[in-house]
Amino acid sequence: MYTVPLYDELVAGVMKCVAVEMFNQTRRRLHPTLRRSLQQIVFQSGAAPALSTSIIIIIIIIIIIIIIIIIIIIIIIIIIIIIIIIIIITIIIIIIIIIIIIITIIIIIIIIITIIIIIIIIIIIIIITIIIIIIIIIIIIIIIIIIIIIIIIIIIIIIIIITIIIIIIICI
């Protein structure tokens, strides 16, 4: 008399997994009529028993491993993209330096013609160099900020995934 109401309560609430596990562990010791009644309560009209807890845990672990692999692949892709961006910026900087060197050589030739032009051109080169250095520093700072933001987003995603997994495991 007490068994059927107990299973009704467990199945009706969030403890269905406990009811399934209790039924799986005790069904061999139950009277056949009681076993059928409880099986209908637990598995809703005689459906096959649910997966055991260990199989569910293995599935969850496999899902966690797949999620971690996907996160690692995403991180590797992000790192590769960042490396490519840094290489492109380095090439642009080298081209700018080569252009500055060529400009400097032309300026040196012009300097021979007149001393006044030399002073004006040197001032222009110093200003251009300072501007380029400022631009390079700004680009590097922007890249560092982007990397930090990406790392923070990845950490937040990992924390959310781990929280969801813990909630799922607790419910099981």
For residues 93 and 27, state if they share a domain: no
Alpha-carbon distance 23 to 33, whole Å? 14
For residues 34 and 115, state if they share a domain: no
**CB 132, CB 27: distance < 8 Å:** no
pLDDT score recorded for residue 74: 93
Q: pLDDT tens for residues 38-68?
A: 788 777 733 444 446 778 788 888 999 999 9
For residues 98 and 60, state if they share a domain: yes
Q: Is residue 34 part of a domain?
A: yes
For residues 17 and 77, state if they share a domain: no
State which residues form the domain around 164: 53-171
Q: pLDDT tens for residues 10-45?
A: 777 667 777 778 878 887 888 888 878 878 877 773
For residues 15 and 76, state if they share a domain: no
Contacts of 40 (CB under 8 A, 6+ apart): 46
